[in-house]
Protein backbone atom coordinates (compact mmCIF):
# COMPACT_ATOMS: atom_id res chain seq x y z
CA UNK A 1 0.00 0.00 0.00
CA UNK A 2 2.64 2.41 1.09
CA UNK A 3 4.81 1.84 -1.93
CA UNK A 4 2.01 2.57 -4.36
CA UNK A 5 1.38 5.84 -2.48
CA UNK A 6 5.00 6.76 -2.76
CA UNK A 7 5.08 5.98 -6.41
CA UNK A 8 2.15 8.26 -7.10
CA UNK A 9 3.77 11.01 -5.06
CA UNK A 10 7.03 10.66 -6.93
CA UNK A 11 5.32 10.57 -10.24
CA UNK A 12 3.45 13.78 -9.71
CA UNK A 13 5.91 15.79 -11.77
CA UNK A 14 6.10 13.18 -14.46
CA UNK A 15 2.35 12.89 -14.55
CA UNK A 16 2.15 16.60 -14.89
CA UNK A 17 4.28 16.69 -18.00
CA UNK A 18 2.25 13.85 -19.39
CA UNK A 19 -0.85 15.93 -18.76
CA UNK A 20 0.74 18.65 -20.74
CA UNK A 21 1.50 16.31 -23.56
CA UNK A 22 -2.06 15.20 -23.63
CA UNK A 23 -3.44 18.70 -23.49
CA UNK A 24 -2.46 19.56 -27.01
CA UNK A 25 -6.04 20.52 -27.63
CA UNK A 26 -6.91 24.00 -26.36
CA UNK A 27 -8.66 22.86 -23.22
CA UNK A 28 -5.99 23.81 -20.70
CA UNK A 29 -7.04 23.98 -17.11
CA UNK A 30 -6.11 27.46 -15.98
CA UNK A 31 -6.55 26.82 -12.27
CA UNK A 32 -4.21 23.86 -12.59
CA UNK A 33 -1.60 25.98 -14.36
CA UNK A 34 -1.73 28.59 -11.61
CA UNK A 35 -1.51 25.99 -8.85
CA UNK A 36 1.37 24.25 -10.62
CA UNK A 37 3.41 27.38 -11.09
CA UNK A 38 2.99 28.83 -7.64
CA UNK A 39 3.04 25.74 -5.49
CA UNK A 40 2.88 22.18 -6.74
CA UNK A 41 5.55 22.42 -9.40
CA UNK A 42 7.34 25.54 -8.21
CA UNK A 43 10.54 25.93 -10.24
CA UNK A 44 12.65 26.89 -7.23
CA UNK A 45 11.24 24.65 -4.51
CA UNK A 46 10.21 21.53 -6.37
CA UNK A 47 11.99 21.42 -9.71
CA UNK A 48 15.10 23.01 -8.18
CA UNK A 49 15.85 24.76 -11.44
CA UNK A 50 17.74 28.00 -11.77
CA UNK A 51 19.61 27.41 -8.54
CA UNK A 52 22.74 29.19 -9.68
CA UNK A 53 21.32 32.74 -9.90
CA UNK A 54 19.00 31.95 -7.06
CA UNK A 55 21.77 31.15 -4.60
CA UNK A 56 24.12 33.80 -5.88
CA UNK A 57 22.08 36.99 -5.93
CA UNK A 58 19.52 36.59 -3.19
CA UNK A 59 21.52 38.41 -0.55
CA UNK A 60 18.99 41.25 -0.37
CA UNK A 61 15.36 41.74 -1.28
CA UNK A 62 16.11 44.23 -4.04
CA UNK A 63 18.60 41.94 -5.78
CA UNK A 64 16.18 39.05 -5.59
CA UNK A 65 13.30 41.15 -6.84
CA UNK A 66 15.37 42.53 -9.71
CA UNK A 67 16.46 39.14 -10.93
CA UNK A 68 13.02 37.66 -10.28
CA UNK A 69 11.33 40.32 -12.41
CA UNK A 70 13.86 39.90 -15.20
CA UNK A 71 13.35 36.14 -15.20
CA UNK A 72 9.60 36.57 -15.11
CA UNK A 73 9.59 38.82 -18.17
CA UNK A 74 11.89 36.50 -20.11
CA UNK A 75 9.80 33.50 -19.14
CA UNK A 76 6.52 35.05 -20.26
CA UNK A 77 8.04 36.38 -23.48
CA UNK A 78 9.77 33.16 -24.41
CA UNK A 79 6.71 31.07 -23.62
CA UNK A 80 4.53 33.24 -25.87
CA UNK A 81 7.06 33.23 -28.69
CA UNK A 82 7.71 29.50 -28.48
CA UNK A 83 4.00 28.81 -28.41
CA UNK A 84 3.48 30.96 -31.50
CA UNK A 85 6.05 29.07 -33.55
CA UNK A 86 5.35 25.65 -32.09
CA UNK A 87 3.79 24.26 -35.27
CA UNK A 88 6.47 25.55 -37.62
CA UNK A 89 9.68 24.38 -36.00
CA UNK A 90 11.04 20.96 -36.80
CA UNK A 91 11.71 18.77 -33.83
CA UNK A 92 15.41 18.47 -34.60
CA UNK A 93 16.09 22.18 -34.35
CA UNK A 94 13.59 23.10 -31.69
CA UNK A 95 16.04 23.43 -28.80
CA UNK A 96 18.44 25.78 -30.63
CA UNK A 97 15.44 27.80 -31.76
CA UNK A 98 14.16 28.06 -28.20
CA UNK A 99 17.55 29.10 -26.91
CA UNK A 100 17.74 31.80 -29.59
CA UNK A 101 14.35 33.12 -28.53
CA UNK A 102 15.29 33.10 -24.87
CA UNK A 103 18.61 34.76 -25.62
CA UNK A 104 16.96 37.58 -27.52
CA UNK A 105 14.52 38.23 -24.69
CA UNK A 106 17.36 38.16 -22.21
CA UNK A 107 19.26 40.68 -24.29
CA UNK A 108 16.20 42.93 -24.29
CA UNK A 109 15.91 42.72 -20.52
CA UNK A 110 19.61 43.32 -20.12
CA UNK A 111 19.46 46.46 -22.23
CA UNK A 112 16.35 47.69 -20.42
CA UNK A 113 17.96 47.19 -17.04
CA UNK A 114 21.10 48.87 -18.28
CA UNK A 115 19.00 51.87 -19.30
CA UNK A 116 16.72 52.24 -16.29
CA UNK A 117 18.31 50.49 -13.31
CA UNK A 118 21.98 50.75 -14.07
CA UNK A 119 23.24 50.25 -10.51
CA UNK A 120 21.15 47.15 -10.03
CA UNK A 121 22.35 45.95 -13.41
CA UNK A 122 25.90 46.29 -12.17
CA UNK A 123 25.17 44.52 -8.89
CA UNK A 124 23.49 41.58 -10.61
CA UNK A 125 26.33 41.49 -13.11
CA UNK A 126 26.81 38.23 -14.97
CA UNK A 127 23.60 36.74 -13.62
CA UNK A 128 21.41 38.76 -16.00
CA UNK A 129 23.02 37.35 -19.18
CA UNK A 130 22.99 33.98 -17.44
CA UNK A 131 19.18 34.02 -17.44
CA UNK A 132 19.60 32.41 -20.87
CA UNK A 133 20.91 29.28 -19.21
CA UNK A 134 18.22 29.19 -16.56
CA UNK A 135 16.83 25.68 -16.96
CA UNK A 136 13.46 26.75 -15.66
CA UNK A 137 12.91 28.84 -18.80
CA UNK A 138 14.06 26.27 -21.35
CA UNK A 139 12.21 23.63 -19.39
CA UNK A 140 8.92 25.49 -19.60
CA UNK A 141 9.47 26.28 -23.27
CA UNK A 142 10.00 22.65 -24.13
CA UNK A 143 7.61 21.00 -21.69
CA UNK A 144 4.69 23.38 -21.92
CA UNK A 145 4.85 26.20 -24.44
CA UNK A 146 5.85 24.03 -27.40
CA UNK A 147 2.73 21.93 -26.87
CA UNK A 148 0.12 24.46 -25.86
CA UNK A 149 -1.68 27.47 -27.36
CA UNK A 150 -0.56 30.99 -26.66
CA UNK A 151 -2.84 31.93 -23.80
CA UNK A 152 -2.16 28.96 -21.52
CA UNK A 153 1.55 29.25 -22.32
CA UNK A 154 1.62 32.90 -21.35
CA UNK A 155 -0.20 32.12 -18.11
CA UNK A 156 2.13 29.23 -17.41
CA UNK A 157 5.16 31.43 -18.00
CA UNK A 158 3.74 34.11 -15.75
CA UNK A 159 2.85 31.74 -12.94
CA UNK A 160 6.15 29.85 -13.10
CA UNK A 161 7.97 33.18 -13.10
CA UNK A 162 5.87 34.37 -10.19
CA UNK A 163 6.58 31.20 -8.24
CA UNK A 164 10.30 31.56 -8.92
CA UNK A 165 10.28 35.24 -7.98
CA UNK A 166 8.32 34.61 -4.79
CA UNK A 167 10.92 32.14 -3.57
CA UNK A 168 13.73 34.45 -4.63
CA UNK A 169 12.22 37.32 -2.66
CA UNK A 170 11.50 35.10 0.35
CA UNK A 171 15.08 33.89 0.36
CA UNK A 172 16.38 37.42 -0.17
CA UNK A 173 14.28 38.72 2.71
CA UNK A 174 15.45 35.91 4.96
CA UNK A 175 19.10 36.50 4.17
CA UNK A 176 18.84 40.26 4.40
CA UNK A 177 17.03 40.08 7.72
CA UNK A 178 19.48 37.61 9.26
CA UNK A 179 22.54 39.01 7.55
CA UNK A 180 22.05 42.73 8.01
CA UNK A 181 19.03 43.14 10.25
CA UNK A 182 17.18 45.21 7.65
CA UNK A 183 14.51 44.70 5.03
CA UNK A 184 13.94 46.46 1.71
CA UNK A 185 17.21 48.38 1.80
CA UNK A 186 18.33 50.07 -1.44
CA UNK A 187 14.93 49.67 -3.03
CA UNK A 188 15.60 52.92 -4.90
CA UNK A 189 17.79 50.90 -7.25
CA UNK A 190 14.63 49.39 -8.67
CA UNK A 191 11.84 51.83 -7.89
CA UNK A 192 13.55 55.19 -8.17
CA UNK A 193 13.90 57.94 -5.60
CA UNK A 194 10.45 57.38 -4.12
CA UNK A 195 11.76 54.22 -2.51
CA UNK A 196 14.70 55.72 -0.65
CA UNK A 197 12.85 55.59 2.66
CA UNK A 198 11.50 52.09 2.27
CA UNK A 199 14.42 50.65 4.16
CA UNK A 200 13.18 49.09 7.35
CA UNK A 201 15.77 48.58 10.05
CA UNK A 202 14.30 45.68 11.96
CA UNK A 203 17.04 45.31 14.54
CA UNK A 204 18.94 48.36 15.76
CA UNK A 205 22.71 48.05 16.23
CA UNK A 206 22.75 44.59 14.70
CA UNK A 207 26.03 42.77 14.15
CA UNK A 208 26.22 41.73 10.51
CA UNK A 209 26.00 37.97 10.21
CA UNK A 210 28.26 37.49 7.21
CA UNK A 211 27.41 33.83 7.02
CA UNK A 212 23.85 34.57 5.88
CA UNK A 213 25.07 37.04 3.29
CA UNK A 214 27.61 34.61 1.85
CA UNK A 215 26.53 31.72 -0.43
CA UNK A 216 26.43 29.01 2.31
CA UNK A 217 23.62 30.95 3.95
CA UNK A 218 21.67 30.69 0.69
CA UNK A 219 21.97 26.92 0.67
CA UNK A 220 20.75 26.64 4.24
CA UNK A 221 17.98 29.17 3.63
CA UNK A 222 16.77 27.31 0.54
CA UNK A 223 16.91 24.04 2.46
CA UNK A 224 14.72 25.51 5.17
CA UNK A 225 12.24 26.84 2.60
CA UNK A 226 12.00 23.42 0.92
CA UNK A 227 11.57 21.77 4.31
CA UNK A 228 8.82 24.26 5.12
CA UNK A 229 7.00 23.49 1.87
CA UNK A 230 7.25 19.75 2.44
CA UNK A 231 5.96 20.20 5.95
CA UNK A 232 2.91 22.12 4.74
CA UNK A 233 2.25 19.55 2.02
CA UNK A 234 2.50 16.75 4.53
CA UNK A 235 0.09 18.46 6.89
CA UNK A 236 -2.36 19.04 4.07
CA UNK A 237 -2.14 15.38 3.09
CA UNK A 238 -2.81 14.34 6.67
CA UNK A 239 -5.75 16.71 6.89
CA UNK A 240 -7.25 15.26 3.71
CA UNK A 241 -6.72 11.74 4.97
CA UNK A 242 -8.39 12.60 8.26
CA UNK A 243 -11.33 14.11 6.42
CA UNK A 244 -11.67 11.03 4.31
CA UNK A 245 -11.56 8.84 7.38
CA UNK A 246 -14.28 10.90 9.00
CA UNK A 247 -16.52 10.47 6.02
CA UNK A 248 -16.30 6.78 6.57
CA UNK A 249 -15.51 4.05 4.11
CA UNK A 250 -16.49 4.70 0.55
CA UNK A 251 -19.99 3.67 -0.39
CA UNK A 252 -19.13 1.16 -3.03
CA UNK A 253 -18.26 -2.01 -1.24
CA UNK A 254 -16.78 -4.89 -3.05
CA UNK A 255 -16.38 -8.25 -1.52
CA UNK A 256 -12.81 -9.30 -1.28
CA UNK A 257 -12.10 -12.94 -1.41
CA UNK A 258 -8.32 -12.91 -1.14
CA UNK A 259 -5.71 -10.85 0.61
CA UNK A 260 -5.99 -8.92 3.84
CA UNK A 261 -9.22 -7.30 4.81
CA UNK A 262 -8.46 -3.87 6.10
Per rule CB under 8 A, is residue 207 in the interface with other proteins?
yes
Half-sphere exposure of 1 (CA within 13 A, CB side): 4
Q: How far is the CB of 156 from other proteins (least distance, A)?
A: 35
Per rule CB under 8 A, is residue 211 in the interface with other proteins?
yes
**CA atoms of 42 and 159, how far apart (whole Å):** 9
Applying CB under 8 A, the span of 126-134, 146-154, 161-169, 204-212 interacting with other proteins comes to 204-212
Q: How far is the CB of 220 from other proteins (least distance, A)?
A: 7
Total interface residues for other proteins by CB under 8 A: 8
Contacting other proteins (CB under 8 A), which of 56, 99, 209, 226?
209
**CA atoms of 34 and 42, how far apart (whole Å):** 10
Biggest CA pair distance of the chain? 76
Q: Which is nearer to other proteins, 207 or 259 (CB)?
A: 207
Contacting other proteins (CB under 8 A), which of 101, 128, 212, 222?
212
Q: How far is the CB of 20 from other proteins (least distance, A)?
A: 36
Question: Do the beta carbons of residue 120 and residue 63 sit within 8 Å?
Answer: yes
Q: Which positions from 137 to 166 touch other proteins by CB under 8 A, shown as an x/- string?
A: ------------------------------
**CA atoms of 150 and 209, how far apart (whole Å):** 46
Per rule CB under 8 A, is residue 210 in the interface with other proteins?
yes
Applying CB under 8 A, the span of 18-26, 108-116, 125-133, 201-209 interacting with other proteins comes to 201-209
Question: Residue 94 region, left (φ>0) first, then alpha (ψ -120 to 50), else beta?
Answer: alpha
Contacting other proteins (CB under 8 A), which of 214, 232, 240, 242?
214
- 198's enclosing H/E stretch is none
Which long-range contacts does 18-23 make (Cβ < 8 Å, 24+ apart)? 20/143, 20/144, 20/147, 20/148, 21/147, 23/147, 23/148
Interacting residue ranges for other proteins, rule: CB under 8 A: 207-212, 214, 220
Amino acid sequence: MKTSDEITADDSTLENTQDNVESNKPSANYAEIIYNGIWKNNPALVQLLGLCPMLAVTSTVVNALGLGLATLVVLVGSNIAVSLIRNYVADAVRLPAFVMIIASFTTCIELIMQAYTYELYQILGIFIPLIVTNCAILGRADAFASRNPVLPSALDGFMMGLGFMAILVALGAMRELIGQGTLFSDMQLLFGDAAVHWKWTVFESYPNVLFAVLPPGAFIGLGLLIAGKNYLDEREKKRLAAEKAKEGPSTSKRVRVTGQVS
